[in-house]
Amino acid sequence: MNEYADAMRRCLVDLDVPGLLRLWPHVFPHLPPPRDDKQALATLHFSRTQTNNIRTRERAYSHRWLEDHGLPSGLPDYLKPIAERLYPKIVEGVGISYNVRSPILKPIAPIVREAMSNAVLECYADDRKDKIRERVFEAKDKAIRQLLGIVRK
């Protein structure tokens, strides 16, 4: 059994999915094996967060991976601040600004900004983050044309 423990630790350190799947019937015969490679990888990451004899950096990486994939992490609370410093969460953002100098046109600015914001939300809903800039400028132009009564042929 000791050789299985060494092999399992190596799989945890290296995130070796094929190795885990080969070891599974020997180490966990009473449990059903992972359905696919993705579930096996998630199992390895979760196990890494709970294993004390794995380096903190590797445990922190697995914590971030699980959090980024919407899965629970088994990392103890006292290690979570360290994990957040090592692998901070990356948050995306889009800034929108539309201003006009003319006092006559000032009332249209919030309406145009809202149209631009809606275009960003639609891009995220459609999972088309690569088209944000293009759609925002299209929405801006369309809103301005509608507000000013300009019909495009």
What is the pLDDT, as a whole number, of residue 81? 94
**8-36 average pLDDT score:** 93
CA–CA gap between residue 1 and residue 26 (Å, rounded): 9
Burial environment of residue 48 by CB neighbours within 10 A (0 to 12, 13 to 18, 19 or more) = buried
Confidence of residue 152 (pLDDT cuts 50, 70, 90): low
CA–CA gap between residue 135 and residue 99 (Å, rounded): 18
What is the pLDDT, as a whole number, of residue 70? 92
Burial environment of residue 65 by CB neighbours within 10 A (0 to 12, 13 to 18, 19 or more) = buried
Number of H helices, E strands in the chain: 7, 0
**70-88 average pLDDT score:** 94
**Token reading at 3:** 């050789």
Whether the Cβ atoms of residue 23 and residue 10 lie closer than 8 Å to each other: no
Domain boundaries, the chain: 2-86, 92-153
Looking up tokens 């993705």 gives 38
